[in-house]
Amino acid sequence: MIQLLPLFVAIPLGAAFLTALAAFKARRLADVGSALATGALLVLAVITIGRQGVYPVGGFLAPLGITLVLDGFSVLLLLIVNGIGFLATLYSISYMERYTSKYKYFTLFLLMIGGMNGVVITGDVFNLFVFLEIASIASYALVAFGGEHEELEASFKYLVLGSVGSGFILLAIALVYGATGQLNMAGIAMALAGTDKHLLIAFASVLFLAGFSVKAALVPFHPWLPDAHPSAPAPISAMLSGVLIKALGVYALARIIFNVLGATPLFGMIVMGLGVLSMTVGVILAVGQWDFKRLLAYHSISQMGYVVLGIGLGMFILASGGDSVVAGTALLGGILHLANHAAFKSLLFFCAGSVEFRTGTRMLKELGGIQEKMPVTRLTCTVASLSIAGIPPLNGFWSKLIIVIATIQAAFTYPGLLVLTAVTVLVSFVTLVSFLKVLRYVFLGALPDAFRKIKESPFFMGVTIVSLALLCAGMGLLLVPAARGAILDPAIEALKQGLGYGSRVLAGM
């Protein structure tokens, strides 16, 4: 199995170039080829469940060569990236009919998937930077795909902020290389394990945090997201919001801080602070929005706050030598919310795309009364809205509940953390209010004359949103012991091992 690991990068990159070439002959080939490629990736991702291992690229062994590392956390992200990627491809087949040169879109789309898969499985910091840039550059171009005023403006903003973030990350990599003489993540972890914190490493950690926070759109670094996500075509909004900010932002940050540089209590507190700030500011800004997709984009910032809060809390407790079980609960909440957010937020963006596809607008005040015209979209959108607001038994409820439980457990030791519990519950409530507004304005009320003749979304788009709605309803089952042991627990263990990652990878797992 481990020999198949390079395929996660090779298939999308190869398919991207073949799509671009083949499309000169037959336009349909681009659709079929991309769907086959992402479908194959999804199958591969499912095969990786429960496995781990190290693949030395070109046969050069760990501390010297580049390695691809598969562990629990990578497996979870591979499932998310390729699962949402496959559904987005299906959705694009119908949705992208509106645009010219669909094959260029699929080329960029596959490059983005390849970059994200690379980030998730690589075991080398410079390699991580290269894949991060592949995914980023493809996403800058995809945001500008419409080529109109708003798209270009949003893309330029995203490009400038994203490149500054990448600049920080590259500088941090240079500092780490200067301090340890290693680029391999396992090698760096080995070099740093058991030593005192070097000042250079602390500086590099801060640069990494700033860089990855730009990619994850945490609050002081968020201004690109509410512009870029609504401007992109709907499947790309879903990919950016559902997958890209997680793979390039949260995953990379957690991996570097937990497993490569080592967490400190202060750093855990900073990450928690960023999470709380994102949660509250994101949701406050979301309440006043009247653009459907822009509202969803602000909610993405808010929900990423939950994920980062869970991970930061786990980091803080682990680094300050607290109860490992409580830290595990916090990490479980954060990681489960990461998976859940991928499902419900991409579903919401797909629903917004379906509504825009049929009605031609995404301003909430211009919409209304389309519940009888688009029953499937209405049903799935309701499921997703209740899920993001944390209504049981949908998936969002379980992860938010676990995060709340973790903050309460942690508050036994650090009473100040009870504030977090209050904020978490409050933000969830404001989210519910905001989404009731969406449902009310989009689907209920009087039907404007302009929408008398609209139909339900096309077949492929319908299949996508229905399967995601089923996922939203069923993802609470991930907490059943069997599924949890196969998918979630290995991911938490991968983070909890800390710098022990180094010796395990060097030993070949």
Nearer to another protein, 229 or 504 (CB): 229
Q: In terms of Cα–Cα distance, which of 381, 384, 394, 282 is closest to 336? A: 394
Q: Contacts from 36-39 at CB under 8 Å and sequence distance 24+?
A: 37/11, 37/12, 37/110, 38/12, 38/82, 38/85, 38/86, 38/89, 38/110, 38/113, 39/86, 39/89
Nearer to another protein, 97 or 148 (CB): 148
Smallest distance, another protein to C-beta of residue 133, A: 5
Q: Judged by CB under 8 A, does residue 281 bind another protein?
A: no
Phi/psi at 365 (5° precision): -70, -25
Q: Judged by CB under 8 A, does residue 287 bind another protein?
A: no
| Interface mask toward another protein for 100-139; x: CB under 8 A | --------------------------x---x--x---x--
Q: Judged by CB under 8 A, does residue 299 bind another protein?
A: no
Q: Judged by CB under 8 A, does residue 355 bind another protein?
A: no
Amino acid sitting at position 257: I
Q: Judged by CB under 8 A, does residue 178 bind another protein?
A: yes
Smallest distance, another protein to C-beta of residue 298, A: 9
Question: Of these, 140, 221, 349, 441, which contacts another protein (CB under 8 A)?
Answer: 140
How far apart are the C-alpha atoms of 231 and 243, rounded to whole Å?
17
Q: Judged by CB under 8 A, does residue 58 bind another protein?
A: no
How far apart are the C-alpha atoms of 427 and 363, rounded to whole Å?
24
Q: Is 195 exposed, middle or buried (0-12, 13-18, 19+ CB in 10 A)?
A: exposed
Nearer to another protein, 22 or 130 (CB): 130
Q: In terms of Cα–Cα distance, which of 259, 264, 175 is closest to 211? A: 175
Size of the site for another protein (CB under 8 A): 37
How far apart are the C-alpha atoms of 20 and 9, rounded to whole Å?
17
Q: In terms of Cα–Cα distance, which of 110, 190, 114, 172 is closest to 142? A: 110
Smallest distance, another protein to C-beta of residue 2, A: 26
List beta partners, residue 55.
68
Q: Judged by CB under 8 A, does residue 156 bind another protein?
A: yes
Smallest distance, another protein to C-beta of residue 125, A: 10
How far apart are the C-alpha atoms of 113 and 384, rounded to whole Å?
24
Question: Of these, 226, 268, 396, 490, which contacts another protein (CB under 8 A)?
Answer: 226
Q: Judged by CB under 8 A, does residue 171 bind another protein?
A: yes
Nearer to another protein, 89 or 231 (CB): 231
Q: Judged by CB under 8 A, does residue 366 bind another protein?
A: no
How far apart are the C-alpha atoms of 87 and 94, rounded to whole Å?
12
The binding site for another protein (CB under 8 A) comprises 126, 130, 133, 137, 140-141, 144, 147-150, 152-157, 159-160, 163-164, 166-167, 170-171, 174, 177-178, 183, 226-227, 231, 285, 288-289, 291, 294
